[in-house]
Amino acid sequence: MVRMRFAIIVPFGDIYDHKNLILMKQLGCTDVIGHGPSIPRGSEVWEYGDILQIKMQVERHGLRLEVFEDAPPIEKIVYNLQGKEQQLEDFCKSLENLGKAGIKVIKPQHMPPVPNMIWRTDPDKPTRGGATSTAFDYDLVKDVPPTVKFGAYKEEDIWRNLEYFLKNAIPTAEEAGVVITFHPDDPPISPIQGFPRILRSIEAFDKLLGLVPSNNLGVCFCQGCFAEMGVDVPAAIRHFGRKGRIFFAHFRNVKGSVYEPGGFQEIFHDDPTGRVDMFEAMKAYYEVGFEGPMRPDHAPKTIADDIYGGHPGYHMIGKVLALGYMKGLAESIEKTFFKEDKV
C-alpha cells in the first residue's frame, strides 16, 4: 500500500451517499475530500453537530475526513457587500465548530458569486478517441461586459477585502486548528465579466500567503489550474511544498494554457500530449513530503458515461482511470526513489 492518501468524487448523488463511500473504499481510497453541511435558510453558520454527523458517516466506512473543499460563504466580505460583518462573525463561529469536529482543512470560495464563476467556453470539445472535455478560450469572453448586479471591481479592492478577511479569520483558525486554503482562479486570467481573477499566478499566491503570515493559511494545489497558467507544475509543487503550504491537491492535466492561441482543454490524466509531466508532478509531491490527500480532478466524458451520469469534468470512467493511474505513479515512485523511507 502506498503512502499517498487518495480520494475521488464519483457521480452517484451526494459524496456522502452510502454507495459512494462503499465505492471509494472498493477503489482503494483512504480519504474523502468532502463538503460542509447543509444549512437552514437564513443561516451561514456550520453547526458542530451537523459537521460531526458527516464525519461519523464517513468514518463508519473506514475512510478519513479531514478536508472540506468548501467553507462557509465569504462573498460578502470579498466583494464588499452588505452584511459582510455578520458573515465574518458566522465564518469564525464555523471555524470553531470545524476544529472541534476534527476537520483540519477548508477552502473558502473567493471566486465571483455568479453561476459561471468557473468559465468554460466549450463543455464538450472532442479529445482522445472521441471523448469530450471542457475547454476555454479567453478571446471568446474577454469583451463580455460586467454583470448588471455587481459592475466592475478593481484588483486592489479585492486584495484589500481579502486581507481584511484573513486578518480577522486567521486568529480564530489558529485557535481552532483549522487551515484556510485557497484554490487558483479558474480560469487564471483577468478580468472576466468585470471580475478581477487575482489568484492567477505563483506570484499572486506568494502575495496571498504573505498577507497574514501563518501556518494556518495555505494552498489547495490544483495542478490543472497551475498548468492553465502555463507554469512548470512540478517546480510550482516544489515551490509551495517546500514551504509546507500544500494541504490537499487536485491532480489534473491540460493541453495549452490561457495565454496560448485557442486557450486550453482538459484531457485524460494519462494523455502524453498534456503540458504536465504527470510522473514528475507526482514525484515532486513526494520530494516535498506531501502525502495527500489528493484526488483526480476534471476528466473527459467517455462513451460509457451515459450510463453513470455526471456533468462536464465529473464523469465516472475518466475519474476511475485517473485514480488507477495516480496509484500506479505513486507506487512506481515510492519503489524507485523512496524505498528506504517506507515504514
**pLDDT 10s digits, 133-158:** 999 999 999 999 999 889 899 999 99
Q: DSSP H helical segments within the chain, as ranges?
A: 18-26, 48-59, 75-78, 84-101, 155-176, 202-211, 223-228, 233-241, 278-287, 305-308, 316-337
What are the residues whose beta carbons fall under 8 Å from the beta carbon of 160, sequence distance 6 or more? none
183 is catalytic: yes
The answer to whether residue 158 sits within a structural domain is yes
The number of distinct structural domains making up the chain is: 1
The answer to whether residue 41 sits within a structural domain is yes
pLDDT more than 90, % of the chain: 90
Give the residue-averaged pLDDT of 230-256.
98
What are the residues whose beta carbons fall under 8 Å from the beta carbon of 336, sequence distance 6 or more? none
The answer to whether residue 343 sits within a structural domain is no
Report strand pairing: 122-126 vs 132-136: antiparallel
225 is catalytic: no
Which CATH number do you get for residue 249? 3.20.20.150
What pLDDT score does 341 carry? 61
Contact 264, 256 (CB under 8 A): yes
61 is catalytic: no
- Tell me which residue of 200, 209, 269 sits closest to 228, measured CA to CA: 200
- Tell me which residue of 233, 341, 224, 215 sits closest to 285, measured CA to CA: 233
Tell me how far apart the alpha carbons of residues 270 and 253 are, in angstroms, rounded to a whole number: 8
315 is catalytic: no
Q: Which of 183, 239, 269, 315 is flagged as catalytic?
A: 183
What pLDDT score does 10 carry? 87
314 is catalytic: yes
The answer to whether residue 214 sits within a structural domain is yes
The answer to whether residue 39 sits within a structural domain is yes
Beta bridge partners of 266: 254
Tell me how far apart the alpha carbons of residues 291 and 295 are, in angstroms, rounded to a whole number: 12
**pLDDT 10s digits, 171-207:** 999 999 999 999 999 999 999 999 999 999 999 999 9
Which domain covers residue 80, as residue numbers? 18-338
**pLDDT 10s digits, 81-138:** 999 999 999 999 999 999 999 999 999 999 999 988 999 999 999 999 999 999 999 9
The answer to whether residue 8 sits within a structural domain is no
Q: Nearest-5° angle of CA 174, CA 217, CA 14?
A: 95
Q: Which of 35, 239, 269, 298 is flagged as catalytic?
A: 298
